[in-house]
Structure 1
Amino acid sequence: MSNSPETGNQRRKEVVVCGGGVIGVCTAYFLAKNGAIVTVIEQSSIACAASGKAGGFLALDWCDGGPVSSLARASFNLHRSLSDELDGASSYGYRPLTTLSVSIDESQSGPSGRAKDVPSWIDGPVKEWKPIGTAQTTAQVHPQLFTRCLMTTAVENYGAKVVIGKVEKVGFTAGDDGGRVESVVLEDGRVIKADSVVLAVGPWSSKLGIVSSLFRVYGLKAHSIVLEPKDPDAITPHALFLSYYSAQGGKPMDPEVYPRPTGEVYICGMSTTEEVPDDPEQVVPNLESIRVLKQVARNVSTHLEGEAQVKAEQACFLPCTDDGNPVIGELPGMKGCFVATGHSCWGILNGPATGAALAELIMDGQASIVDLRSFCPARFVAPSRR
């Protein structure tokens, strides 16, 4: 990617990134690092929504066999490089993990069918288990710390700015081809000029007419709790993907458990499709979903019951598309207006490669780190309208 300082008659590109989640922040980071003048507009605060409440699980090859494979592999490796660059182990909890598939059955009276090398803290009614990821293929970050670390670095090292405000519209110059981006207008009347605009607002893409007129983005509401065990040193770095059988019967649930190097244990699941509110601060968890997650925690480990402190009960919306793939690229008929959304549960994993590729597309006219053609917004538009 070219680095383009303002020299001679060459003017640095001014880019406005709408959205302070992991996708927007990663894009802003790589744009600013490579010479753009970057302004991030966020309605509430950096990493206030899913990027502050997600699990932060990273997998090298779990998306293999589908369109997201190359994006995920590039991003997994980029996470490692960013950790080396930014001291991720200490600044935002980056570390490799062993990942296990664990079957828990509430109806069992105690642990059974458990091999001797299963981590000792997983002492609930284990039905069966197996490894599904190694320290070479799975890892984790604390997503809120990761996102805020990148934003702070972009501000302090590369001159990016953060503006708190709500986007009202994107301004375009008139033109037969649909026009070109010239500004972003905020609800309070502020106008921020721009050569390019990136719309990285996750499930709130559905609130923007220029996006919703082309394709649908809907929100999947996911719940989570964060616990602080009395003895965090007893919890080993093993991520758990559960098949959880309730004593009441029915299909198994699939919650996930992520111990963090901060001493916390994050547990998520209980997802439903719901209407996305206008403000991220209006997202509240469903009490029954939180109750179930606490019950799951108790049955996974005695370390996660009793004296374990509940640090958070929360929910967030994951941005999803009808074909299940993210949308990354320039909106058809809107020169200089780019979108990055629809990453579903893989937003934290795929944030770095999405941001790096989009920065290349904006700065150089094409992406080299990963082929974005599978994610082009024009795939939703009839050929006659492109």
Structure 2
Amino acid sequence: MAQAEPRSVVIIGGGIVGCTTAYYLTHHPSFISSRTQVTLLEASAHGAAQGASGKAGGLVARWAYPQPLVDVSFDEHVRLAELHGGPDRWGWRYVGCGSWEGRAEAVPETPPEENGADGEADSLSGRRKSLEKTLGLEGGKPPKKKTKKATGLPSDLTWMAEDLTDAYSPMAPHGDTAQVHPYFFTTSMLAFAQEKGAEFTQGKATRIVIEDGGVTGVEYCDPSTQSEQHLLPATHVILATGAWASTLLPALPVTGTRAHSITIRPPKHHLPLAPYVLFTEITLPRDVGRGTRRRGTTHASPEIYARPGPDGEVYACGPGDDAPLPPCVDDVVVDQEACDNVWRQVRGVSRVLRAGRVHRRQACYLPTVLGSRAGPIVGDARQVARGLVVAVGHTCWGISNAPGTARAISELVMEGEIRCADLRSLQPSLFF
């Protein structure tokens, strides 16, 4: 019996979907015997997880969407954490998930330089829009509707101001919401893949090479010169470039929504903070700050996530905007005002966080699928070329749904079909 030809798999994109796919391919039972070579190509000059995969909140939920992908992904998160020491390595833990409604206090302005903030900033701004994280898609399982009735804060949620709370209610059953630190999860998946033989190459993909109806390679430019062209031969190409997917495959209806976030380090004597993810509805005082008031906003809805670890970091994010997608993840611009607004809102409702300092101000682009059909887009794109696989458009649920996506893609490449879930509603042919 003739031995099958070896596979050369090139994954374009070193975010959480690309790195986790490299992990699942290299850990597939037939990886070694099938003589499969995996190469991950990443455009950033700074390594993997430089976009949303390093700057997201890290929420993992059974009530995310789409449900067929969620059902696989959540259990895979649990398995990976148990197998590789996730609690210590990437902060895996179950968390409470609640809706908090209340009022923000007006507090004096704090100069940005006193907060120890990292990252570049600019005044570039776009039209604000909701990330709609709590809105389930058709067939999904959205969190429970919040209630206006005040139920009181949980006894351990002491880092939110009780006297400023109007209502609190849990949004999901215990055990249905968890978290990871997305940067550490993504880079751990890449490291495990490299231990099994995957190669990591830095360079910006410029073209997927197609000959006689099938992929034959990926052309990319050197990240230092941005001009010298190289070629990675391939029998399979997996497109996992998030918001940048349409730059390589223009037919894909994928764009990006810029989202801003900050991380806050509270005083050591308040640690550890109880593990909660909060979706807030905050009534702002009239003097909450020039940036927020200039937009005519009287309410705000930041998300606030307590994280584990010795620094007790807290992540907070605001709405997205429609700022144009830059050429590369390294070119993302941080809107200083957007980050300052999140900080004003959060410190107005938490005196514990107000006593801390902002550690990072950052921005990333969440991949959004255009049109009436909701994403993500996952599967075989043979209508474009044999050997082309697409895994993009995960919106705000890329962290949560990466393991299920990666497992499905690894089955498609290594076994010829997706077996772990029925993902026919996500197949690329429905989106072109």
- Tell me whether the two structures share a fold, i.e. TM-score over 0.5: yes
Alignment length (residue pairs): 360
1:259-316 CA-to-partner distances (Å, cap 9, x unmatched) read: 111210000112112211012111122122111111122123111113x122100000
Match of 1:329 among 372, 379, 398: 379
RMSD: 2.0
1:126 aligns with 2:165: yes
In the TM superposition, residue 11 of structure 1 has moved relative to its aligned partner by: 3.7
**2: CA distance between counterparts of 1:116 and 1:226?**
23
The code of the aligned residue for 1:192 comes to L
CA contact (8 A) 1:121 1:234 kept: no
- Which has the higher mean CA deviation after the structures are superposed, 90-99 or 252-261? 252-261
| Stretches of 4+ aligned residues off by more than 4 angstroms | 248-251
CA contact (8 A) 1:97 1:134 kept: no
1:132-156 CA-to-partner distances (Å, cap 9, x unmatched) read: 1344100000000000001001101
1:193 aligns with 2:242: no
- Any residues of structure 2 matched to 1:305-344 within 5 Å, and which? 305-306=354-355, 308-322=356-370, 323-331=373-381, 332-344=383-395
The runs of 5 or more residues in structure 2 that have no matched partner are 108-148, 222-227, 287-295
**Secondary structure of 1:355's aligned partner:** helix
- Which has the higher mean CA deviation after the structures are superposed, 97-106 or 196-205? 97-106
**2: CA distance between counterparts of 1:92 and 1:283?**
25
- Which has the higher mean CA deviation after the structures are superposed, 264-273 or 242-251? 242-251
Match of 1:257 among 290, 301, 304: 304
**2: CA distance between counterparts of 1:96 and 1:116?**
18
**2: CA distance between counterparts of 1:207 and 1:47?**
19
- Residue 252 of structure 2 corresponds to 215
**1: CA distance between counterparts of 2:350 and 2:56?**
21
The code of the aligned residue for 1:15 comes to V
**2: CA distance between counterparts of 1:83 and 1:196?**
29
1:211-260 CA-to-partner distances (Å, cap 9, x unmatched) read: 22x23211111110001111352410011111122234756332111111
The code of the aligned residue for 1:363 comes to M
**1: CA distance between counterparts of 2:431 and 2:150?**
49
The code of the aligned residue for 2:165 comes to V
CA contact (8 A) 1:114 1:126 kept: no
- Residue 40 of structure 1 corresponds to 40
- Residue 194 of structure 2 corresponds to 155
**1: CA distance between counterparts of 2:49 and 2:409?**
19
The code of the aligned residue for 2:69 comes to L
CA contact (8 A) 1:100 1:130 kept: yes
- Residue 4 of structure 2 corresponds to 10
The runs of 5 or more residues in structure 1 that have no matched partner are 1-6, 382-386
- Which has the higher mean CA deviation after the structures are superposed, 296-305 or 352-361? 296-305
CA contact (8 A) 1:20 1:40 kept: yes
In the TM superposition, residue 120 of structure 1 has moved relative to its aligned partner by: 1.7
1:21-77 CA-to-partner distances (Å, cap 9, x unmatched) read: 0011111111111213100000111001000000000111243xxxx1110121011
**1: CA distance between counterparts of 2:377 and 2:4?**
31
Match of 2:207 among 163, 169, 184: 169
- Residue 400 of structure 2 corresponds to 349
With structure 1 as the length reference, what TM-score do the two structures score?
Answer: 0.89
- Any residues of structure 2 matched to 1:93-112 within 5 Å, and which? 93-106=91-104
CA contact (8 A) 1:13 1:37 kept: yes
- Residue 81 of structure 1 corresponds to 79
1:285 aligns with 2:351: no
CA contact (8 A) 2:282 2:299 kept: yes
With structure 2 as the length reference, what TM-score do the two structures score?
Answer: 0.80
1:368 aligns with 2:423: no
- Residue 51 of structure 1 corresponds to 53
CA contact (8 A) 2:253 2:431 kept: no
Match of 1:183 among 203, 206, 217: 217
**Secondary structure of 2:300's aligned partner:** coil
**2: CA distance between counterparts of 1:199 and 1:171?**
13
The code of the aligned residue for 1:239 comes to V
- Residue 175 of structure 2 corresponds to 136
